Structure 1
C-alpha cells in the first residue's frame, strides 16, 4: 500500500470510529460527570485531528494498521449472557470483562479491584492524569469510547495481594472493545496484577472471529510502592490487540512488568514509563511467540527523570513460519537523572527462513554520570544442542520444543511472584506445538 492509499485508509477507518462515538456519546458511562464528558469530547477531537497512525510515523514504521482501518467493527448492542469457557485463574480474585463490559456473574468484585464504570466519580483526578491523547491517537480513541475497566486504588501500606483482570472477546463477534484500567498505589502499597486477554474462539474458521481489543492502563505508583504487572496476551488468531500502558513511579517505587504475546493476528503493546523520583525502578521484560501469519510489536519508552534510578529490559521473540516481530525500546535519560543504570536487550530466535525481526534499541542520554547499555541478537536453534538431545533418543520435535521453552523460560524466571510466574510458564509450555 503506497503512502497516499495508506493515508486514505487511515482516514476512512478513523471516520467509522468517530461516527460510533457520536452515536454513543449520550449513552457512554459517566456522561453526567462534567469532567468526564469534557475529557471524552476533547479525546474525540484529538483522534479526529490525528487519525490512525501510518508507517510515516516513526514509532509505527514497522507496524501497518491496514487490517484495522480496512475492517468494519461494530459494538455489542446488548450484554453477552450465558456461560463462557474461561481459562483457569491463577489469582484468588478475578474481574472479568466480556467485549469490554463488566461481567458481575463471572467476577469477584470487591477490594481491591472494582468495575470502573460503577465507580467513575472516584476516578476524577486519576483517569487521564498520565495518559497522553494529543499525540497518541489510540489512547485518544480509548478515552473517547471506553465503557468499563478495572479500578484499583490501594491506600498507604496496603497489600492488595494477587488480582487477575481477564478480558474476553466472545466468539465470532466483529466488535471493538476499548477497556480503560486505572491502578493507584499509595506509599508502601503492594500489588500483583495478572492481566489476561483471551478469546472464546482461539482458532476461528477463515474469515470469522475478527475483533479489536485496545486497552489502556494507567499506573500511579507511590513512594516505596511495588506493583508486579504480568500480561498474558492470548487473543484468537483473527484478533487485533493494540494495548498502551502508562506508569509513573515515585521515589523508591517499582513497576515490574512482564509481557507475553502468544496470540492475535496483529498485536502491539506500547509502554510509557516515567521514573519520577530518586531510586525508582522499572523492569520491562517480555517474550513474543509468533506463528505463521502473526505480527507482534513490543514498543517501550522509558523516561529516566530522576537520579539513581535503575531500569532493566529483556525481550525475547520466537518466530515461526511467515511471521514478523518488532522490538522498539527507547531509554531517555534527562540531565537531572545522574547515576542512571539502564540495561536493554532484545533477543530473537528464528525458526523459519521466512520469519523477520525488526529491532531498534535506542539510548538518548543528557546526563554525564550514567551506566547504560543496549544490544540485540538474532539467531537460530543451536544445532549442536539439538544433536545432543537427539543423540539421547529425544525425537526432533520434542527436542526443538525443549530448546525453545528453555530460551523463553530464562526470561520468565525473572518474574519474582510465584503465581504470576506460574501463569506465564504455563502458556510458554508447549510453545513449539502452537507455533508449528
Structure 2
C-alpha cells in the first residue's frame, strides 16, 4: 500500500509544527518541509525582544533540535521557495529547479511585511522584522548615541521600541492614526501603553504622514514628514502590517480572501487535498460566527494540529479561544478573543498599578479581554469567551471577587 506523501511549503512556526505533529500522530509516509530561510523552523516572537537584546541564541529559538528532522525522516529543504502550484498533477515547482510531488499539501507560507510605497525605502538601515537576518541587521544599528525611528505603533513596533531603549538608543514612534494600537485595542489600553513608553523615554509622533526617507551616502538619515519636517535617525524599522503570501494558491485557483479560505480542518474549501495554516489562512472562528485571518503563534499551532489530525484520520481537535501576547519592559500584555460587536468596556483593577484587565462585553458575554500583568483575568477570560457563558458585571468589575467566582 502506497503511503501518503505530505508536502509542507513554508518552514515557519506553522509548517515546522505541522511536520512534527504529523509524526507524533503516527503518519508514516514521506514528509517534505520546504523553507525559504537557511535554517530550520524557529520561534519568531523573541526577535523583537530577547533576540534583539542579545539574551538568547539561535539554539534556544529553534522549534526542534537540528537533528530532529533527519531522525524523524522529515526531508527539510532550506533556501527553497515555491514558485508554482499545479493542482492537476499534485506538484509544486520549486526555486531550485526541482519539482515536489504531494498527496496532501500544507501551505504554511506565512505573510510578508507591508512596504511603504515612498521614496527612500531602498536605503540601507530601513528594515522590517520578519526573520533573524532582519533582527541582526537592526541590532547592529542600535546602541547608545543612536536614534531609531519606528514606523507604525502596533505590537511589534512597540516591542522593538522597548528593546531599543534597553540597548540605550533613542526612539521615536511614528503613527498615522491618532493613537497607538488603533486597529486592535481600545483607547484606554492605547493611552496606558503610550504613557508607559513615554515614562521610559520613547517619543511619539501621532497623526503624522510620512513622505519618504532621507539618506546620506546610501544610508537612511531621517524620515520626512508632511510639510517638509525631517525626523533625524540612524535606523528605521517599518511595522505597518503584513500581507499573506497567497500568490501561488490564488494562481492555482484556490479561493482566497486575504488568505487561503479554509474550513475547521484547515482544509482548502476549493481542493480537499490542500490545507493552509497560520498567517496565510483565512479561517472560520465559530465563537464569533465569522471568518478571519490571524497572525499569532497560538493560531499557527492550532491549525497545524487541525491539519495533521485531518491527514492522519484523527478526530478534529476541540476549538480554542484565539489569543496572543506582547512583552514590553516589565509589562506582560495578554489578549484573548476579539472585541467584535462589543457594546460595553469594563475595567477590572487600577491602570495606575500596571496590573489590570479590560473586558469587552456584548450584553453579558465576554468577547475579549486585554490583560496587563493580570494572568488570572486572562486565563478566566479565555474560558468565558470560549464557553460563551454569561457573567455578572458587578462581580467582574470588583477585584475583591476572585476570577474563579466570576466564572462560576
Q: Quick check: TM above 0.5?
A: no
Higher strand proportion (structure 1 or 2): 1
**Structure number with bigger Rg:** 2
* TM-score, reference length from structure 1: 0.28
- Structure number with higher relative contact order (C-alpha < 8 Å, ≥ 6 residues apart): 2
